[in-house]
Chain A
């Protein structure tokens, strides 16, 4: 890969993540989801790189191109989506560990959003809707519809594995596309603090997903 290709990919990592989110929804859930995800990521980044070399398509709609208020809107939206998933888990799952995890997601994401709103009030600014927020919401609507039809271990597995994938994707977006491009120092500081939380969630989601799988295989 040339330096220019690497630079382009780094700048557009967020756009690649959005495509990845779509692909995760499209690919049927498999029991070997880790291997599927690794294959998806490799395929995705290769495809995005190839497309960039041959296409004259406009990449104006890139997460790296969003301004601070649009980034704030995406973060707020992403928090609300995870809160939504967590409420669904509390309603459908019977697993106490899944409930514990879901309550932590609600507690932490609500705390982040509270800080975000307080900062926006201090800056006398409004978050701006954008293509990425709309895409995240569309994908979330589909996933909620899918998960609402599940129950028992099928739901627990889908929810916890999605939580891992969702946090991995959001963390790539925040770490690679958002934080380096945020201009306002207070907004950047808030995102850096939130990033610590989301990375902790990713670790917790991995542990919870693994524990759910282990409990299910023990019962079989």
Chain B
């Protein structure tokens, strides 16, 4: 009986360890993978107006307005190009830093993206 009890405890411990290891492994994979974010352009506003993302993440802008828009970095380093209604374009961000952007056609429309490894 003692042998049977010991065997049960060993098997249970091994099983719990295996399950825990698989959970940790799965969590580590999801945490490291690049993410995709969506900014909707609606009623002449970028929604959300500000985003915090990590290096390697991608942002997609979708225009829901009748009027064409762009999402353009202040220095013109990146630009979605002309987006007509329901058209989208994406930009991948690799370098840390904070970026302000605007619509070239409607300069009052402004947004910001912060890229941070944390």
Contact = CB atoms under 8 A, between A and B. Distances in A.
A107 B66 contact: no
Contacts of A194: 66
Interface extent on A, as a size class?
A: 10 to 19
A111 interface: yes
Majority SS of interface residues in chain A? helix
B44 A107 contact: no
Contacts of B43: 196
Contacts of B66: 108, 111-112, 115, 193-194, 197
Contacts of B25: none
A193 B108 contact: no
Interface in A183-207: 193-194, 196-197, 200, 203-204, 207
A162 interface: no
A186 to B, nearest CB: 13
A193 B63 CA distance: 13
A104 interface: yes
Contacts of A111: 66-68, 84-85
Contacts of B57: none
B76 to A, nearest CB: 14
B65 interface: yes
Interface of A: 103-104, 107-108, 111-112, 115, 193-194, 196-197, 200, 203-204, 207
